[in-house]
Amino acid sequence: MNSSNILHVLNLLTPEIVLCGLAFGVLLLDIIFFRSDSVEHRHEQLGCSVIIGLVMVFFIYALQYMDWQNTFVVGHGAFVASRLNTLFKMAVVGLALITVVIGFKTPYSTHVGEYYGLMLFSVLGMVFLISSEDLLMIFIALELISLTLYVLTAFQKGARRSVEGGLKYFIFGGFSAAFLLFGLSYIYGATGHTSLREIAGALQGDQLAKVPMKMLGIGILFTLVGLGFKIAAAPFHLWAPDAYEGAPTPVAAMIATGSKIASFVALTKLLLIGLPAAAGSALSWPTRWHSGWAGTVAIIAVLSMTIGNFAAIMQTNVKRLLAYSSVAHAGYILVAIVAIQASGVPAPSAAPAIYFYIIIYALTNIGAFGVVNAIGSKAGGDDFEHFTGMARRSPYLSLLMLIFMLSLAGIPPLAGFFGKFYLFAAAVQADPKNLGLLWLVAYAIAMSAVSLYYYLKLTKQMYVLPAKDPRRVTSNPAMNTSLGLIGLMVLLMGVFPNKVVERFENLNANPYPIWEAAVPPPPQPEIPVPAPAEKPAVPAPAAPAPKS
């Protein structure tokens, strides 16, 4: 066992360790110093410490992002430190920060320290999930996220909706975890490895003949079902509206944004790094059928877009509307995964598009949840009727909600439009000769048009209908500022989308991007079972720079 290796690993894990310390710190602070204070007081002090801590973690990630050029692999892929992963972790930590800010003055429980502590554990699960390329680590990190979110959903113990939402979330989540595990066990059984890169290696060339393909197929199918639950893709979305509606709004925001981002990254890695050899193809799919996961993912995407958009039309509760709209958005992102696969590896255009879209989706959604929280806590609920005439009662929050809704719908000057634009353009370009994915893109565009209806319905409720209750609705300055900043970012990303996409394209040129593994993994020396504690971090071999 080499001590310098351990030091190196600890160095890589610094932000995670700080985050962990922050979680413990919050729990201990609450118990030791603040036990006798009032709930509001504890909420303020602990909230401030969490905010400071998360800003610190964010900056450590930013430093790592600027510092690193290589990719480091710890423990056969249990933890992969790369710039791309760090970017996603920054996004997740930033979202957690916003979640804490929007829930700042609305205590949901007297257990303040535990509320923040569990939230931080959930963020830890997300960062570990983002950086894992190992079936076991993916499972554990997903469970860490899920278990904390089950508890947080049911956190308002006095409210029936909260506990019932928690129970539904738990039963569906437990079922999905069980499916996921069964799928993973079949993938392991078929290939004999748990590390995604080793799995990809076992599916290559003449090795492929030895792999029981039907068993692998069953494994992939069940894994897709399990992860489909986590990203709330139809037909596995039934838990989402209840969990969103029942959960305290900041927790719902976290389920809808941070945990979604992390699950999407895990799904993308699993499919594109571990199983590119089993992809098949979704090109020209309605006329030709190729077996493989690409076709299945395309079907799930179509179902999600259809069910999400049409069910959202019928909703009368804003949180349920956001839940169904996020089902639809999961469908759009799955279109992008199909596109990356179809465009071959490495994909120059599809991958930045998917990152851009995920980030914009998360940003817009967390802004929308923030406004719902600010208005809902003052107006007494988050049904449509509570939002009637809000433009006169709170012009500022209504304007922000307008921006977020139009961005989600994909109206031109806003970020959401460019997100969809890049996404669909990438999907069309995936197969430029015979436009094999055109059927999927056309369907997605048609569904976006449908989505315009319900986003505008909410806007009409706020802007056109007269208010029944003339009292003004105000929120605290911290929330106003942070929501305003998010709105500004959504606007700016719409005005200068190329700046962000270029950044992702630069990452794309960086060695070892997320989808690189379809290129044969480097031959690794076989390590005997009693190996040193962590595999010495191996700098990645330079991948061929993608053609622009």
Min. distance of Cβ 392 from another protein in angstroms? 31
Min. distance of Cβ 8 from another protein in angstroms? 13
Min. distance of Cβ 477 from another protein in angstroms? 31
202: left (phi over 0), alpha (psi -120 to 50) or beta: alpha
Q: Whose Cβ is closer to another protein: residue 431's or residue 534's? A: 534
Q: Whose Cβ is closer to another protein: residue 2's or residue 506's? A: 2
Q: Whose Cβ is closer to another protein: residue 239's or residue 424's? A: 239
Min. distance of Cβ 536 from another protein in angstroms? 13
Q: Whose Cβ is closer to another protein: residue 16's or residue 431's? A: 16
Phi, psi of 514, rounded to the nearest 5 degrees: -65, -30
Min. distance of Cβ 178 from another protein in angstroms? 4
Q: Let me know how long the chain is.
A: 548
Min. distance of Cβ 29 from another protein in angstroms? 14
Q: Please tell me whether residue 74 adopts helix, strand or coil conformation.
A: strand
Distance CA 539, CA 542 (A): 9
Helix then strand then coil, % of the chain, to nearest 5: 70, 0, 25
Min. distance of Cβ 17 from another protein in angstroms? 10
Q: Whose Cβ is closer to another protein: residue 45's or residue 185's? A: 185
| Burial class (CB within 10 angstroms; exposed 0-12, middle 13-18, buried 19+) of 522 | exposed
Phi, psi of 446, rounded to the nearest 5 degrees: -60, -40
Closest CA relative to residue 325, chosen from 245, 242, 405: 405
Min. distance of Cβ 241 from another protein in angstroms? 8
Closest CA relative to residue 368, chosen from 357, 379, 360, 380: 360
Distance CA 122, CA 50 (A): 14
Taking the CA atoms of the chain, what radius of gyration do you get in angstroms?
23
Closest CA relative to residue 188, chosen from 178, 207, 202: 202
Q: Whose Cβ is closer to another protein: residue 160's or residue 471's? A: 160
Tell me the sheet residues that pair with 80.
73
Min. distance of Cβ 301 from another protein in angstroms? 22
CB 239 within 8 A of CB 173: yes
Min. distance of Cβ 417 from another protein in angstroms? 33
Look-up: residue for tokens 């990452």?
A: 507
Q: How many helices (H) and strands (E) does the chain have?
A: 21, 2
283: left (phi over 0), alpha (psi -120 to 50) or beta: beta
Q: Whose Cβ is closer to another protein: residue 243's or residue 444's? A: 243
Min. distance of Cβ 209 from another protein in angstroms? 10
Cis peptide before 413 (omega within 30 of 0): no
Q: Which two structure tokens, joined as six digits, stand for 201?
A: 């290696």
Q: Which amino acid is at 56?
A: M
Q: Whose Cβ is closer to another protein: residue 170's or residue 356's? A: 170
Distance CA 469, CA 389 (A): 9
Q: Whose Cβ is closer to another protein: residue 38's or residue 481's? A: 38
Q: Whose Cβ is closer to another protein: residue 5's or residue 70's? A: 5
Q: Which two structure tokens, joined as six digits, stand for 249?
A: 């709004």
CA angle (516 as vertex; 514, 519 as ends), nearest 5: 160
Q: Whose Cβ is closer to another protein: residue 181's or residue 465's? A: 181
CB 133 within 8 A of CB 80: yes
